[in-house]
Amino acid sequence: MGKFELPLAEVERIVRQALAEDLPWGDVTSDSLIPGDQLGIGRIEAREPGVLAGLPVARAVFAQLDSALDFEAGVEDGARLQAGQVIAQVRGPLRSLLRGERVALNFLQRMSGIATLTDRYVSAVAGYPARIVDTRKTTPGLRLLEKYAVRVGGGNNHRYCLSDAVLVKDNHLAALRLRGVTLGAAVAELRRTLPHTMRIEVEAQTLADVREALDARVDAILLDNMSPALIAEAVRLIDRRALTEASGGVTLDTIRTIAETGVDLISVGALTHSVRALDLALEIEV
């Protein structure tokens, strides 16, 4: 699997669900046309440049379908692909190979698309300390794979789920105000009840919000939908007393300007919610 790790049991569960969705009662075309003993080779190829992610998942697809299928990868996740490059070969019963073709490609194409887009964002801030992080804007049921693909592309993961860390957002703040609870009192209560290892991050939309978060002694401040000039001012005001995260409307056109502000983290929802699948294909050798 290379230097990137995925929990195998979870991968197998996700693959099992995907195969059940695509093969609820068999593949009527392949089952009717392809003899069970016909053997062959399928090549998975790149049709455009990009960063590869998802080989362990593709391997699991074919392994679950038929133990007689042999999956041989020519590269590892994280490889920079060129158009026409062979990524892997699958040998064995053609009927089983064809059953798994689309499911394997769906995983590979989406995950490679995420890794490729992440790589573009990471490259755009080269030379600045800002780290590119993802969000929870992922495909339901596929968060594990999509956040893995972000790491393969050179990015970092934000919290995995709501159970990981405290992130007090605008709607939480509105709910607190309705009850007359200040941010400082809320953070103090969190410190009393949560494990000491858990960070507390608070969203800020104005410099007044930033000052309030600093007074509450939070661990990180999310600078939401601020202009680069306002982000820079907030970073100076915070002065390393908390981690700084820029978020909201980040694009490839704006991210370098945001990185120039000195912010620690830049979260990009587009890495997973608006990605284009990388063009890959499986071709049968004839």
Given the residues 13, 43, 80, 102, the one annotated as active site: 102
Which residues, in sequence order, are CB contacts of 218 under 8 Å at separation 6+? 187, 200, 201, 202, 242
Backbone φ and ψ of 281, nearest 5°: -145, 155
Given the residues 209, 224, 245, 264, the one annotated as active site: 224
Of 80, 133, 106, which Cα lies nearest the Cα of 258? Answer: 133
**Interatomic CA distance for residues 23 and 19, integer angstroms:** 6
* 165 class by beta-carbon count within 10 Å (0-12 exposed, 13-18 middle, 19+ buried): middle
Which residues, in sequence order, are CB contacts of 272 under 8 Å at separation 6+? 114, 134, 135, 137, 138, 139, 146, 147, 150
Given the residues 203, 212, 245, 264, the one annotated as active site: 203
Of 113, 19, 125, 9, which Cα lies nearest the Cα of 64? Answer: 19
Is position 169 annotated as part of the catalytic site? yes
Is position 203 annotated as part of the catalytic site? yes
Of 136, 149, 164, which Cα lies nearest the Cα of 273? Answer: 136
Given the residues 48, 70, 72, 169, the one annotated as active site: 169
Given the residues 80, 137, 143, 159, the one annotated as active site: 137
**Interatomic CA distance for residues 117 and 250, integer angstroms:** 13
Residue 28 pairs in a beta bridge with: none
CB 283 within 8 A of CB 45: yes
Of 122, 121, 118, which Cα lies nearest the Cα of 149? Answer: 118
Is position 236 annotated as part of the catalytic site? no
Is position 147 annotated as part of the catalytic site? no
CB 130 within 8 A of CB 244: no
Degrees, nearest 5: CA angle 66-68-73: 90
> Catalytic residue numbers?
102, 137, 169, 203, 224
